[in-house]
Structure 1
Amino acid sequence: MYAASLRILKQVTFPKRAYSNSQKLNLRLVRSKMDLELKSRENPVVLKLESEEFKGIFTPEVAALKSLFDKYNYEIRVAGGAVRDLLMGLNPKDLDFATTATPQEMKEMFTAENVRMINTNGEKHGTITARINDKESFEVTTLRVDIVTDGRHAEVIFTTNWKLDANRRDLTINSMFLGFDGSVYDYFFGYEDLKKRRIAFVGDSEKRIKEDYLRILRYFRFYGKIADKPDNHEKEILQVIKDNVGGLQNISGERIWCELKKMLQGNYAGSLLKTMIDADVGKYMGLPSNPNIEELGRVMKRAEHLNLHPMSYLAALLTDLDQVTDLHSRLKFSSYDRDLAYFLVEHRGDKVAARPLLPYEKLVLNTKIKQRDAIEYVKEVLKYRGDENLLEQFNKWEVPRFPISGKMLKDAGVPPGRMYGPIISKIKDMWIDNEYKQSEEELVKIIPNLIEEFGNNKIKNIK
């Protein structure tokens, strides 16, 4: 084992500031026995892509980036998710690259070639972001090994060994590289796992999770993206997750929500959420100790096919507005997502009306939030309830313009002060109840009676 570790060290670049030879050896020996003995391919090239999706990634900017690295004799490959997507016949949303060049070497190269570099935050982890032709930005990351990890962050050292970089990645399906000639490099059998729709960690799953506990959430997200069944998890992986879930308490809510939201936008969202709760993940995400699993089941049964917003799944687990507040304090939702959660919990119940759509029209017309948000919130409530007929009606409904303004109230003699709000609300309710048929002139005629009504009420209240 010591000899193997020493061979690995020869392929690693250590920062000038850092470690003695003995310290380097000790750092490498923190790898688990499973990782050190991990089986890998002798020849990592598993196939050559020639698909239209592969050819489609070669924009002029990608070609320019590649030519720069060729010019300076540095190897560069496409890394991670784009490789996985291409193997699935998908067009990747974005491209990330890995290279044998160090960050300093990339900076010197880009500076010499007048290539603008942006967003320097990733440099300490080996990432340089280059803006090519002032049109496309690409993240290029030096091959690296995570040396010191605390479950959230990693201290890295650089390497020229592609296998070592693949070994530190989270899932086998995310550990592949793609050469510009179409060669797919797969050291740890991610290609086979992808074909089997299997989600597995690279090497020692417990070690991978302890390096960054957010990988628990990433496991579930990629399960929803890749797997062909909602409940085909390997028991050993779920047990490792359950044994290590406490590490999530030190992960920021923003990072958790970023992964969780993506998972809830994928396949099997409700089923995966249940599995996560069974594995004790829920309480570290801010869910109540007794989440409403029964309501989640009902929502899944009647509405999962309606492309639910992630908040619908979470709202189903909550019983009141206070629990929404608690969840928001942990996950730090955007204002839109937070208000949608409040709206769902408050308005998901049955509404009795002579005309079924009327209560939802009132929610839009009487809203104190942006009207376009209220419209989307009502649509989500109707999806949550599985009321497809009412949703279809609501989608066809054109929001009418309320014909009365504050100036009209003033011109009609409404005295300045607190009477404006109640009077305009009363007129609007009458207008809505009459299905928006009353004209401006008809509504203005009502104002004097309302002035008298609200004026008398004021006098009574004073007495």
Structure 2
Amino acid sequence: MWSRLLSPRVIGRASVCWRSLFTMKLKTSEFQSLFSDGLKGLAEVFEKHQHELRIAGGAVRDLLSGKRPEDVDFATTATPEEMKHMFQKAGIRMINNKGEAHGTITARLHNENFEVTTLRVDVETDGRHAEVEFTTDWQKDAERRDLTINSMFLGLDGTLYDYFKGYEDLQNREVRFVGSAEQRIQEDYLRILRYFRFYGRVALEPDGHEAETLAAIKENGRGLAAISGERIWMELKKMVVGNHAGHLLELMYSLELAQYIGLPPDGDVEEMKRVWQKAKGRSPKPMTVLAALFRRPEEVEKMDIRLKVSREEKTLALFLVKHRRELRKSDDEPDSLKPFTDFIFDSRDLDSQSKVCELLKYQGEDKLLAELSRWSVPRFPVSGHDLRRLGITSGKEIGAAIQQLRDIWKKSRYQMDKDELLSYIKS
């Protein structure tokens, strides 16, 4: 397939022997589908002012993988001031320009937003943030990026510009840092987690890591302690639901990273691996997999303090830790949903059915999960008004009667109608 669509050729060599500019033409339908009226208009503005404009980063990786990217970022040789002048002259609206200090201008054309960033080099980094200066050298911008598969550019004529063998690594399903792994990591320690996330997306085998890369990760793992919890959680939750997640989490423990990213230092790795194996084909929520690591509710609280997860994510973790052993299918009726539907019916939590579905994924109960996904909480047919008509007027007595009838209704598997239930009161 690729031989018909792409024409590769090497057109030069960079100063370091293993770096070379590799180009080829991309003519896929996914690439052509990007050319909306907005993008065509944007391209005309840059061409008129003789500034280069290329697609950058993850969108290039997705297009080379045969996917249409959800988000497309652009890079250019034009400075932010030059872009502002160009857009103002063309009558193009600019919005959300908080990223201007880092070289990003957002233009709005034909009801589409286009983020365009000036080529940059890192002048100084502290492991979290970088001071940058602008450049017109595409290779220098590629050199500051994290992974080879994220360091490529794609011209709007379909020409791929690859300085660090990113295309080759993508074809071979390999994940490597650009240049020195240690240097890239020390520029931004979050790149450790980005490495694991993209490994899960790209690699075919779970254990195809380079020894030098793992050594650099272990040596620099403590740098993650200075990264904000929000940034860590954003990467971690994407990794946990990707390929090889069980292996990658186990590897992160062996590299002694858990203590820096909010996971329990003595997490139950074996339980996590079992849960991930059971749940991986059922689209589990990230916290469903991670909850297997927690032995006690206190560990969930510590994780929340570090990562600042959402209230929904925290309550799911606490629910799973509390109920994963006690709320299970009945030995007497293994195919029955009754323990789970009774729990949902009695719960005051409006989200209880969703939580129980995650519990069934955790437990690997395929059949029960499918049934529960189709089940809806039935409406209890008896009201206080019905009991008053029978002469029960005390609020306390009405409450007790309602609870008695709810218990009877549950035992009937929610099949009894109002008259059948009220017959118990009449008798």
Structure 2 partner of 1:381 = 359
Q: CA deviation at 1:335?
A: 2.0
Within 5 Å, which residues of 2 pair with 1:244-263? 244-263=220-239
Change in 2 beyond 3 A, CA 1:424/1:342: farther
Matches within 5 A, 1:25-44: 37=16, 39-41=18-20, 44=21
Which structure 2 residues correspond to residues 131-280 of structure 1 after superposition, within 5 A? Answer: 131-133=108-110, 135-280=111-256
Deviations along 1:247-291, one digit per CA (max 9) or x if unpaired, are 111111111010111111211111111111111121111111211
Distance 1:434 1:63 in 2: 65
**Aligned-pair CA distance for 1:242:** 0.6
Partner of 1:433: 411
Contact 1:83–1:177 (Cα < 8 Å) also in 2: yes
State whether residues 142 and 151 of structure 2, in contact with CA within 8 Å, keep that contact through their aligned partners in structure 1: yes
The structural deviation recorded for 1:420 is 7.0
Report the Cα distance in structure 1 between the residues aligned to 2:183 and 2:388, rounded to whole angstroms. Answer: 71
1:288 counterpart SS class: coil
Q: Which residue identity lines up with residue 214 of structure 1 in the other structure?
A: L
Alignment of 1:120-131 (within 5 A): 120-131=97-108
Output aligned runs, 1:9-408, within 5 Å: 37=16, 39-41=18-20, 44-133=21-110, 135-350=111-326, 351=328, 353=330, 354-355=332-333, 356-370=336-350, 373-405=351-383
The 2-side partners of 1:447 and 1:55 are apart by 71
**Cα distance between partner residues in 1 of 2:357 and 2:238:** 21
Using the alignment, how far apart are the partners of 2:407 and 2:109 within structure 1? 57
The secondary structure found in structure 2 opposite 1:117 is: strand
Q: Structure 1 residues 419 and 199 mapped into 2: Cα distance closer, same or farther (>3 Å)? A: farther
Q: Distance in 1 between matches of 2:186 and 2:401?
A: 61
Determine the C-alpha separation between the residues in 2 that align with 1:382 and 1:84: 35
Change in CA separation of 1:64 and 1:404 when aligned onto 2, cut-off 3 Å = farther
Percent of residue pairs identical: 49
Give the 3-state SS of the residue equivalent to 1:129 in structure 2: strand
The unaligned stretches of length 5 or more in structure 2 are 1-13
1:168 positional shift: 0.3
Q: What's the secondary structure of 1:169's corresponding residue?
A: coil
The question of whether the paired residues in 2 share the 8 Å contact of 1:413 and 1:448 is answered with no
Quick check: 2:22–2:165 contact (8 Å CA) kept in 1? Answer: no
TM-score by structure 1 length?
0.83
8 Å contact from structure 1 (residues 38, 203) kept in 2: no
Shift of 1:298: 2.0
Partner deviation per Cα, 1:376-405 (whole Å, 9 max, x = no partner): 221111111111122222233343112234
Q: Which moved more, 1:435-444 or 1:422-431?
A: 422-431
Match of 2:8 in 1: none
Query: Is the CA contact 2:392–2:398 (under 8 Å) kept in the aligned structure 1?
Result: no
Structure 1 pair 234–432 and aligned structure 2 pair: CA distance change class (3 A): same
Q: Is the deviation greater in 391-400 or in 219-228?
A: 391-400
Deviations 1:208-242 (A, max 9, x none): 11111110000000001111101111111011001
The amino acid across from 1:100 in the alignment is T
C-alpha separation between the residues in 2 aligned to 1:363 and 1:119?
A: 47
- The answer to whether the Cα contact below 8 Å between 2:246 and 2:277 also exists between their aligned partners in 1 is no
State the alpha-carbon separation in 2 of the partners of residues 307 and 292 from structure 1.
21
CA drift at 1:38: 6.6
Q: 1:105 to 1:346 in 2, by over 3 A?
A: same
Which piece of structure 1 moves more, 302-311 or 181-190? 302-311
Instruction: Please report the TM-score for the alignment, with normalisation by the length of structure 2.
Output: 0.89
Question: How much is the aligned-residue C-alpha RMSD, in angstroms?
Answer: 2.3
Local SS of the residue matching 1:202: coil
User: Deviation of residue 88 (structure 1)?
Assistant: 1.2
Q: Distance in 2 between matches of 1:56 and 1:160?
A: 28
Q: Which amino acid aligns with 2:183?
A: K
Q: Which amino acid aligns with 2:251?
A: T
CA distance in 2, matches of 1:154, 1:47: 32
Question: Which amino acid counterpart does residue 58 of structure 2 have in structure 1?
Answer: G
Partners of 2:423 and 2:15 lie apart in 1 by: 86
CA offsets per residue over residues 86-138 of structure 1, 9 Å max, x none? 111111111100011111221222223232222222111111122221x2112
Structure 1 runs not aligned, ≥5 long: 1-34, 450-463
Distance 1:352 1:209 in 2: 47
Shift of 1:421: 6.3
Whole-angstrom CA distance in 2 between matches of 1:409 and 1:254 = 52
Residue correspondences, number = 409
Deviation, structure 1 residue 424: 4.2
Q: 1:425 to 1:59 in 2, by over 3 A?
A: farther
Contact 1:45 1:183 in 2 (8 A): no
More divergent stretch after superposition (223-232 vs 324-333): 324-333
Match of 1:456 in 2: none
* CA–CA distance in structure 2, aligned partners of residues 103 and 422 of structure 1: 71
